C-alpha cells in the first residue's frame, strides 16, 4: 500500500541529472529524501532505449544497452549543450553515432542517430527528466511542475541553458540550475557554518570532478574546478574485467573481447562485485551463462591493489584545483565525497591522504547531490525561510563607452539575481545608432576586458550630441544569464540581447582576470583619467578649429592669434597625451573664446532679425 501524503500546492523537486544515474528528491518535514522511481528504485539510470520509437528509461533501458545498442542512448550529458566540434573528440568513448546538425538545421549543433531517427541531446535529456517528473508524481501523489536541477560546476552557460531547455520540454519550470558541488555542500548543511573552504571530490560512473568552494556569508562561490572526464567507477569494472577475461581465456578458451554479450555480462558481474566489496571484505565474482560458468573469490585487499593506480589518478586534479584556488590542503575546512565509487574505503583513503583530513561520507554519496537540490528546491518553494543566496557575479559586467573605456554596470561579487540601469547619450551630432558592446572584467581599457556581445541600437532620433537618452538595462537571472536591453527613451526603440557571461570561462580564467585587474589598477586608473580628459577636450578642439576663421573675422588680429596658439597647444597636448597641457590649454581657450562666442551669438541674432524683417 502506498503511503498517503497530504497534497500541497507548491511541490518543487530537486533533480540530480547525472551522466550515469539520475535521482529525484524532495524535502519532507525538513529532511531531504530520495523518491522512488516508477521502477521502484532510488536510482534511475540515465539511459534511454527506443522500442518502436517509444522511449524506455532507467534500468529497463540499461538492460537493452547491449542487446539493442543501436536503439539505446546513454551518457548523453557529455553532449548536452555542446557543438559538433566540441564532441568530435569524445566520439570514441560513445558507441552511438553523433551526426552534425540540430533540429533547426544548425550545423554547429549535434544529434544522435537512433535507428532511422535522430534526437538531440536536449531531447534525450528531456525524456529522462520526464521520467523523473513522473516518478516524483507517483511517489508524492501530486502533480509536479517545478524543479531545481543540478549541473557540474564546470558547465558553461550553453550547457546550463540546454539543461534548462530539456527541463522545459519535460514540462518542468526550472526554478534554478545549481552546481553539483554546491548541492553536495548544502546536503551536509555546510551553509550553516557561514564561512569555509570546501573540497568536493566527486567520482561518478565515468567522470571525476573536484571543486573547491568558498563559503562566505552563506554564499557558495566556486574557486576552482578540475577533473578527468574519462575516469570513474566504470574504469574499476574494466580493471576487474581485464583480469577476469584473461583467466577465462586461459581456462575456458573464450575471448570476451569478441563476444559482446559475454563482455557485458562480465562487466555487470564486475560492478556487482565492486559494490559488494564496498561493504564486505570478500566477494564472489560470478557469471552463469550457457557458454560459461565461472566464479572466483576476491578479497578486498586484492581488489584495492588492482584499482589503487586508477584512484591515484585523482590526486593531480585535486592538487591542481587547490593550486588554482591559491590554497593548501590545510586551508580546507571540509572535504565532501560525492558519487557511488566514493563508498569504497580505498577511495576515501586516497582522498584523506590528498587533503589531509577526514572526508564527509555520512550522507549517501550517490544521493547527496539530489538531496542538496531538494534542499534548494524547498527554499525556493518558500518552505524554508532561511533564504539562501547561492551565487555572485564573478567579474564585473559593463559597457564600452566613448574613448574605449569600460563602464561597469554590475560590480563583481554582486549577488544574483540582480539588475542595473544607466542612461547614456551620444557623442557625435546627428548620431542615429549606437553600438552596445557588453564587456566583462575589471580593467579600464575595453581591450583588456572580455567581449561578451555586441549589438546595434538603431533608430535614434538624429539630434545634437548629448541630447539623446539611451537607457541600458542589465538583468541577471538566478542562473547567471544576463539580458541586456537598450532603449532610446525618446523614440521608444528597443533592442535586447541575451548573453551568457560565463560561457567558455573557467574559474582559473576568472582568477587570472582578477589578478591582472589588481596588478594594473594604477596604470588603468591613469588611463581612464586620460581618456576622460581627452573626451572632454576633443569636442572643444573640433569646435574651436571650426570657429578660427570667425575669430580672425570678428576679433582684433592679436586676440585671434592668441586663440590660434591655444588651439595649437590643445591639439599638441592631445597628441602627446599630456594631461597637464590639455587641461591648461582647455582652460585658457575657454577664457579667451568667451568674447568670440558673445560676438557670434550677437551676429546670429542680428541675422535672424534681418531675416524676419524681410518676411
Ligand atoms: P554515480 O554517477 O554517482 O551514480 O556513480 C555511478 C558509479 O558508482 C558506478 O560506477 C557504480 O558502479 C558505482 N557505485 C555505486 N555504488 C557503489 C558502491 N557501493 N561501491 C562502489 N561503487 C559504487
Give start-end residues of each CATH 3.30.420.40 domain in the chain. Answer: 12-231+313-390
Ligand 1 center from residue 269 Cα (angstroms) = 13
Ligand 1 center from residue 287 Cα (angstroms) = 20
Cis peptide before 417 (omega within 30 of 0): yes
16 counts as catalytic: yes
Pairing of the two strands 117-119 and 219-228: unpaired
Ligand 1 center from residue 339 Cα (angstroms) = 6
Ligand 1 site, residue 275, Cβ cutoff 6 A: yes
Ligand 1 site, residue 152, Cβ cutoff 6 A: no
Give start-end residues of each CATH 3.90.640.10 domain in the chain. Answer: 233-311
Q: Domain 12-231+313-390 carries which CATH code?
A: 3.30.420.40
Residue of 157, 180, 400, 479 marked active site: 180
Q: Which CATH superfamily is domain 233-311 in?
A: ATPase, substrate binding domain, subdomain 4 (3.90.640.10)
Name the pTM for this structure. 0.65
What is the predicted pLDDT for the residue at 3? 34
Name the maximum alpha-carbon separation found in the chain. 119
Assigned C-alpha cell, 524:
588603468
Q: For the domain with range 397-503, which CATH number is right: 3.40.50.880, 2.60.34.10, 3.40.630.40, 3.40.50.720?
A: 2.60.34.10
What's the pLDDT tens digit per position in 289-308? 888 999 999 999 999 999 99
| Average predicted confidence (pLDDT) for the chain | 87
Give start-end residues of each CATH 1.20.1270.10 domain in the chain. Answer: 520-612
The residue whose CA is least distant from atom 7 of ligand 1 is: 205
288 counts as catalytic: no
* The domain defined by 520-612 carries CATH number 1.20.1270.10: yes
Contact 269, 238 (CB under 8 A): no
Residue of 64, 77, 445, 547 marked active site: 77
The residue whose CA is least distant from atom 19 of ligand 1 is: 275
What is the predicted pLDDT for the residue at 364? 93
SS3 content of the chain, % helix, strand, coil (to 5): 45, 25, 30
Ligand 1 site, residue 273, Cβ cutoff 6 A: no
Residue 199 has pLDDT above 70, yes or no: yes
Neighbours of 111 (CB within 10 A): 22
Assigned C-alpha cell, 97:
553515432
What is the C-alpha radius of gyration for the chain, rounded to an integer number of angstroms? 32
Contact 335, 357 (CB under 8 A): yes
In whole angstroms, give the CA distance from residue 349 to residue 354: 9
Give start-end residues of each CATH 2.60.34.10 domain in the chain. Answer: 397-503
Q: What is the DSSP string of 129-149?
A: HHHHHHHHHHHHSS---EEEE
Substitution candidate for ligand 1 out of 203, 233, 270 with most atoms within 8 A of CB: 233
52 counts as catalytic: no
What's the pLDDT tens digit per position in 35-87? 999 999 999 999 999 998 899 999 999 988 877 888 999 989 988 888 777 76
Ligand 1 site, residue 344, Cβ cutoff 6 A: yes
Ligand 1 site, residue 278, Cβ cutoff 6 A: yes
CA-based torsion, 38, 40, 45, 49: positive or negative: negative
What is the predicted pLDDT for the residue at 331? 96
Ligand 1 site, residue 20, Cβ cutoff 6 A: yes
What's the pLDDT tens digit per position in 398-439? 999 888 899 999 988 777 778 888 888 888 888 888 889 999
Q: How confident is the model at residue 92 (pLDDT cuts 50, 70, 90)?
A: low
255 counts as catalytic: no
Which carries the bigger pLDDT value, residue 269 or residue 610?
269
Amino acid at each position: 500500500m502506498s503511503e498517503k501524503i497530504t497534497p500541497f500546492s507548491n511541490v518543487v523537486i530537486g533533480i540530480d541529472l547525472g551522466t550515469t544515474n539520475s535521482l529525484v528528491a524532495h524535502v519532507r518535514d525538513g529532511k531531504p529524501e530520495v523518491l522512488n522511481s516508477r521502477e521502484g528504485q532510488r536510482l534511475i539510470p540515465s539511459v534511454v532505449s527506443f522500442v518502436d520509437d517509444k522511449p524506455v528509461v532507467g534500468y529497463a533501458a540499461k538492460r537493452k544497452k547491449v542487446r539493442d545498442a543501436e536503439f539505446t542512448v546513454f551518457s548523453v550529458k557529455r553532449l548536452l549543450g555542446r557543438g559538433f566540434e566540441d564532441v568530435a573528440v569524445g566520439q570514441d568513448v560513445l558507441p552511438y553515432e553523433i551526426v552534425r546538425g540540430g533540429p533547426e538545421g544548425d550545423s554547429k549543433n549535434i544529434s544522435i542517430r537512433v535507428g532511422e531517427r535522430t534526437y538531440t541531446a536536449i531531447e534525450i535529456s528531456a525524456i529522462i527528466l520526464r521520467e523523473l517528473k513522473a516518478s516524483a508524481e507517483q511517489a508524492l501523489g501530486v502533480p509536479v511542475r517545478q524543479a531545481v536541477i543540478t549541473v557540474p560546476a564546470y558547465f558553461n552557460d550553453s550547457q546550463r541553458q540546454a539543461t534548462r531547455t530539456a527541463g522545459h520540454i519535460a514540462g518542468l519550470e526550472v526554478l534554478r540550475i545549481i552546481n553539483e558541488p554546491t548541492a553536495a555542500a548544502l546536503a551536509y548543511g555546510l551553509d550553516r557554518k557561514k564561512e569555509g573552504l570546501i573540497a568536493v571530490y566527486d567520482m561518478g560512473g565515468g567522470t571525476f570532478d573536484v571543486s573547491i568552494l568558498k563559503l562566505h556569508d552563506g554564499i557558495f562561490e566556486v574557486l576552482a574546478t578540475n577533473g578527468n572526464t574519462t575516469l570513474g567507477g566504470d574504469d574499476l569494472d574494466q580493471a576487474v574485467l581485464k583480469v577476469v577475461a584473461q583467466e577465462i581465456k586461459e581456462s575456458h578458451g573464450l575471448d570476451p573481447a569478441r563476444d559482446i554479450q559475454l563482455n557485458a555480462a562480465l562487466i555487470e558481474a564486475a560492478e556487482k562485485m565492486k559494490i559488494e566489496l564496498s561493504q564486505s571484505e570478500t566477494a564472489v565474482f560470478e557469471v552463469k551463462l550457457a557458454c560459461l560458468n565461472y566464479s572466483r573469490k576476491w578479497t578486498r585487499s586484492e581488489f584495492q591493489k588492482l584499482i589503487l593506480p586508477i584512484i591515484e589518478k585523482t590526486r593531480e586534479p585535486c592538487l591542481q584545483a587547490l593550486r588554482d584556488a591559491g590554497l593548501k590542503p590545510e586551508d580546507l575546512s571540509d572535504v565532501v565525497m560525492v558519487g557511488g565509487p566514493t563508498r569504497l574505503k580505498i577511495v576515501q583513503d586516497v582522498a584523506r591522504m590528498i587533503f589531509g583530513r577526514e572526508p564527509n561520507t555520512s550522507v549517501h554519496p550517490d544521493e547527496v547531490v539530489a538531496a542538496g537540490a531538494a534542499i534548494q528546491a524547498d527554499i525556493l518553494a518558500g518552505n524554508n525561510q532561511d533564504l539562501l543566496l547561492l551565487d555572485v557575479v564573478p567579474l564585473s559586467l559593463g559597457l564600452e563607452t566613448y574613448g574605449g573605456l569600460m563602464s561597469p554596470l554590475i560590480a563583481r561579487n554582486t549577488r544574483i539575481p540582480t539588475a542595473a540601469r544607466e542612461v547614456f547619450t551620444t557623442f557625435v551630432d546627428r548620431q542615429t545608432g549606437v553600438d552596445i558592446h557588453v564587456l566583462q572584467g575589471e580593467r579600464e581599457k575595453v581591450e583588456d576586458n572580455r567581449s561578451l556581445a555586441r549589438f546595434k541600437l538603431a533608430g535614434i532620433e538624429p539630434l545634437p550630441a548629448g541630447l539623446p537618452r539611451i537607457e541600458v538595462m542589465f538583468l541577471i537571472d538566478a542562473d547567471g544569464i544576463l539580458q541586456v536591453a537598450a532603449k532610446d527613451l525618446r523614440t521608444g526603440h528597443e533592442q535586447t540581447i541575451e548573453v551568457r557571461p560565463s560561457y567558455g570561462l573557467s574559474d582559473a580564467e576568472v582568477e587570472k582576470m582578477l589578478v591582472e585587474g589588481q596588478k594594473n589598477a594604477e596604470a588603468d586608473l591613469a588611463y581612464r583619467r586620460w581618456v576622460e580628459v581627452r573626451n572632454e577636450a576633443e569636442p572643444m578642439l573640433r569646435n574651436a578649429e571650426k570657429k578660427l576663421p570667425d575669430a580672425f573675422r570678428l576679433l582684433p588680429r592679436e586676440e585671434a592669434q592668441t586663440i590660434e596658439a591655444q588651439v595649437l597647444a590643445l591639439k599638441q597636448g592631445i597628441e602627446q597625451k599630456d594631461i597637464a597641457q590639455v587641461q591648461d590649454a582647455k582652460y585658457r581657450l575657454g577664457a579667451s573664446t568667451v568674447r568670440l562666442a558673445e560676438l557670434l551669438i550677437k551676429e546670429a541674432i542680428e541675422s535672424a532679425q534681418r531675416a524676419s524683417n524681410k518676411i
